[in-house]
Amino acid sequence: MAGTLRVRFAPSPTGYLHTGGARTALFNYLWAKGQGGVFVLRVEDTDEERSTEESMRAILDGLQWLGIMWDEGPDPAQFGESIGPFPPYYQSMRRPLHQAYMKKLWDAGHVFYCPATAEEMTGPDGKKLTFSPYRDITREEQERRLAAGEVMPVRFRCPRDVEVSWEDAVRGKVTFSSNEVGDFVLFKGNGQPLYNFVVVCDDIDMQITNVLRGEDHISNTPKQILLHEALGQTPPEFGHVPLIVGMDRQRLSKRHGATAVDAYEEQGVLPEAMVNFLALIGWAPGDDREKMTLEEMKQAFDPHRCTKAAGAFNPDKLKFFNELYIRELSADALAERLRPFVPAEWFSFRGEDYAKHVFTLFQEKIAYLTEMEANAWYFFRDPVEADNNVKSVAKFLTGNESAKQLLSEILTGMQALGDGEWTEEQLAPIVDGFVESSGLGRGKVMQPWRVALTGDAISPGFYDLVVTLGRDTVLRRVQPWIERL
């Protein structure tokens, strides 16, 4: 590869950043960073009716959340501004450039104003014609019609019987006949430039050397190659990665679950887990590694190792990665990641160290950050009747003839320890002694305690629970149950 690798991700701000687009951005980012190249972000906002600032901000936010930072593109701190040597990076602001390239094509005879109606562009068999019946219209006739106020789109005068081929980085050699391409439209009658034209203009101006994108763009590639050649430019090298499908092998859609990246952020997926997961949909590093850091992926990524077959979006695999990354967080890092997902008052309830300790008790149990609040709430407030699991209460407390005795005797032993903080070493002999003297199994002793303290039979380990809650909370929660039973 000669010169500096320059790749781009060019989303349309007509919706949110979806998983397919995020993966395309990630692949380009990894490729550029691994090769010492440049990753360009360009906003293709020529669809004025559907493009919104809200969507653009969502795309920028999504990329930044994933850790995919562009070298050139929109200024994330100032909407509408650009950073880089080829501004602006908003396609809608580049009209003068597009008009200049249009003039080059016009002067060279590669384009024509086409007065053909929809009926005239339809063949006897009812199929759309690829070549316009007006492709040989004279320049004088075009100018006469324009002067008369006729509104006409601009079409590319596609050469007939030409083979258009390229060596695809993913698929190998791909070939189209120019007869399949035909005289495609570059500008609408209202003067609005269309995708295949402006993308070529901007790729030339921004010195893009390689284009890696979804396979749904394959049919655009021969058009873009022909335009590059008509403008006297060498086309970039192209690669087309397969689309992402659901586990049923159908194209990924909302029926498969969330498709927008921000939905996974809100669900409590860690960005490093999402990146690791997305990278392995349709690409492999060439060894048996699954868990990889962003830096490792940068060094390993090669588009030639992308698969030709569609990659499946497996929610269970994403869950696996998220669990893996959550478990590796330090207590401090876990607490910081959890701040948007748990009540702010938890951090001041008994201080930050208490909150951090509680979170670590569930670190091995949660798959998503959103699950922490539902699991850990009873460390931050006393259960009320509505919190109680009715079945657990009935089984282990109200319907358990041993419950009152085991709560009472063990609590008495605990109270005898005095007013200081309890430790497992202090509590274990008390519990073990009761288990031995009562003849009850350890589980039959500890489950009623769990329910009395939390309202349910599921909690961290008994000693973690009691020691963390502390003497005053344990007494306050257990004593009413002893009186009630």
The CATH class of 382-484 is mainly alpha
For the domain 94-241, what is the CATH code? 3.40.50.620
State the catalytic residue, choosing from 254, 356, 395, 404. Answer: 254
Q: What is the pLDDT of residue 419?
A: 86
pLDDT tens, 409-419?
999 999 999 88
Instruction: State pLDDT tens for residues 307-351.
Output: 999 999 999 999 999 999 999 999 999 999 999 999 999 999 999
**Predicted pLDDT at 15:** 85
Q: Are 420 and 427 within 8 A, CB to CB?
A: no
The average confidence (pLDDT) of the chain is 95
Evaluated on CA atoms 65, 8, 191, 121, the torsion sign reads negative
Q: How does DSSP assign 169-184, residue by residue?
A: TTTEEEEEEHHHH-S-
Q: Is the pLDDT of residue 466 over 70?
A: yes
pLDDT at position 248 is 87
Q: In the chain, pLDDT over 90 holds for what percent of residues?
A: 89
Structural domain boundaries of the chain?
94-241, 382-484
**Percent composition of the chain: helix, strand, coil (DSSP 3-state, to 5):** 50, 10, 40
DSSP conformation class of 294: H
What pLDDT score was predicted for residue 279?
A: 97
Is residue 240 pLDDT above 90, yes or no?
yes
Residue 44 — pLDDT band, cuts 50, 70, 90?
Answer: very high
The alpha carbon torsion through 346, 347, 350, 351 (nearest 10 deg) reads 180
Confidence of residue 250 (pLDDT cuts 50, 70, 90): confident
**Contact predicate 23/54, CB 8 Å:** no
Angle 468-472-473 from CA coordinates, rounded to 5°: 60
**For residues 440-454, average pLDDT:** 95
The whole-number pLDDT of residue 258 equals 63
Task: Indicate whether 420 pLDDT > 90.
Answer: no
Q: How far is 208 from 8, CA to CA, in rounded Å?
A: 7
pLDDT, average across residues 424-428? 96
* Residue 148 to residues 31, 36, 109, 144, 152, Cα–Cα distance (Å): 52, 54, 22, 6, 11
pLDDT at 188: 95
**Burial zone of 305 (CB within 10 Å; 0-12 exposed, 13-18 middle, 19+ buried):** middle
Task: List helix spans (H) across 153-220.
Answer: 178-181, 195-205
Kindly indicate the confidence band of residue 1, based on its pLDDT and cuts at 50, 70 and 90: very low
Query: Would you call 444 a catalytic residue per the annotation?
Result: no
Per-residue confidence (pLDDT) for residue 86, from 0 to 100: 98
Tell how many helices (H) and how many strands (E) occur in the chain: 21, 13
Confidence (pTM) = 0.92
